[in-house]
A and B are shown apart, each in its own frame.
Chain A
Amino acid sequence: MEKNSTKAMIITLATIGIISAILLTFVYQWTIPYIEANQEETRRIAINEVLPTAEEINQVERESQIFYEGYDSSGNRVGMAYQHSGGGYNGPIELMIGVDLEAEEIIRISILNHQETPGLGARITEEEYKSNFAGKPFGDYEVVKTPPSKTMEVQAVAGATISSANTTRIVEEAVSMINNAYGGGS
């Protein structure tokens, strides 16, 4: 068979493709349990962070969204956690938000995944920024560059206004998703 014939080319590429696919199937099957366990673990830590008083977490599905209801040891619902994502400065930001439905307040937020600039936007994962949302009532927030003077103000991370504003918007969206699913909270 001539080396550069069309047949030879097709056979070569098909063979490499098939061998590659077989090898990657094994790699996939080997790694996927670890990958899923990692994601599960990240989610569990995040839920614990945003619902610190919850002893037991129940996963519920409402309006085709997954919510995590947190209960304390005596069976009272202490809060709800919800995972939401949106665009950041460099890529998607994925966060977990914990809310108190009765008080209509955010308890805490936790950043699961992000690709923001290290040293700048990446500081949305630090307590200084996240604490902005602790105890905030539901509603629309305003991102400001100075220490907040009103309840609905959120202080941006210095030098990372876009990351801060986008995270704030994701939080607002998450709150309205929860509100929709749980009938406006009232």
Chain B
Amino acid sequence: MSVNAKQLISDFKNGLWQENPIFRLVIGMCPTLAVTNTMVNGLAMGLATSFVLISSEIVVSLIKKLIPGDVRIPSYILIIATFVTFVDYFLKAFYPSIAASLSLFVPLIVVNCLILGRQETFASQNPVHRSFADALGMGIGFTWALLLLSAVRELFGMGSMFGLQILGDWYRPMVIMVLPAGAFITLGILIAIMNVIGKNATNDTTCH
């Protein structure tokens, strides 16, 4: 039982740092670069993607034995698309302003390779509880990464956080940060920082 619990925790923690979709695996870059210009957008995209990821990993893991190998990819896409459409309607109905600012990037979650990738490499080979732990970890890992990226871009690009003005009039916003080029620059710098931290962490453990 404790081995089982340990396994679950390690499945969950995997996505947070070790195999973080954005900073480690560098997958799902389309929404990452496109919608992280404000923190509200980054958070909403992270949560929407997490919901789709968790739901579809559960379903795929449950019915994996029923799906013939040759049509597994189209089957996954259908399942993912169902949940994405649900999110799309849900946001339009209850969070219209978020739906308007994310616009076409919500339907595009269908083709986020993070989601399809996890079905193929994890959910289709592991039991439901482990798939859930993996999806939760990956989802939170994706969300915090988007939030960090959008925090940097919104702060430097507009001097605000979550739409609240943080920096005063003395600060001249660096417009490039909210443009696509700013996304690449921020992502590159953040990955570099993550690599340095990652390296130090491994060095520490070898010192013991």
Nearest CB in chain A to that of B178: its residue? A119
Instruction: Give B residues with C-beta under 8 Å from A.
Output: 37-38, 41, 66-71, 74-75, 78-79, 81-82, 85-86, 89-90, 92-94, 96, 100-101, 103-104, 157-158, 173, 175, 178-179
- Assess whether B178 is in contact with A35, with CB atoms less than 8 Å apart: no
**Interface Cβ pair total, 8 Å cutoff:** 81
A91 to B101: give the CA distance in the assembly, Å.
11
Nearest CB in chain B to that of A21: its residue? B82
A42 to B104: give the CA distance in the assembly, Å.
19
A8 adjacent to chain B (CB < 8 Å): yes
For the residues of B in contact with A, the DSSP-based class is helix
- Assess whether A34 is in contact with B93, with CB atoms less than 8 Å apart: yes
Question: Among B96, B104, B179, which residue has its beta carbon within 8 angstroms of that of A117?
Answer: B179
A159 adjacent to chain B (CB < 8 Å): yes
From known contacts A3-B68, A35-B89, A159-B175, infer whether A118 and B75 are also in contact, taking CB-CB under 8 Å.
no
In the bound complex, residues from chain A placing their C-beta under 8 Å from that of B100 are: 113
Interface size on A, residues (CB 8 A): 29
From known contacts A117-B179, A118-B178, A119-B173, infer whether A31 and B89 are also in contact, taking CB-CB under 8 Å.
yes
- Assess whether A31 is in contact with B92, with CB atoms less than 8 Å apart: yes
Given contacts A115-B101, A118-B37, A120-B175, 7 further A-B contacts (CB under 8 A): A9-B70, A12-B66, A13-B74, A16-B79, A20-B81, A27-B86, A38-B96
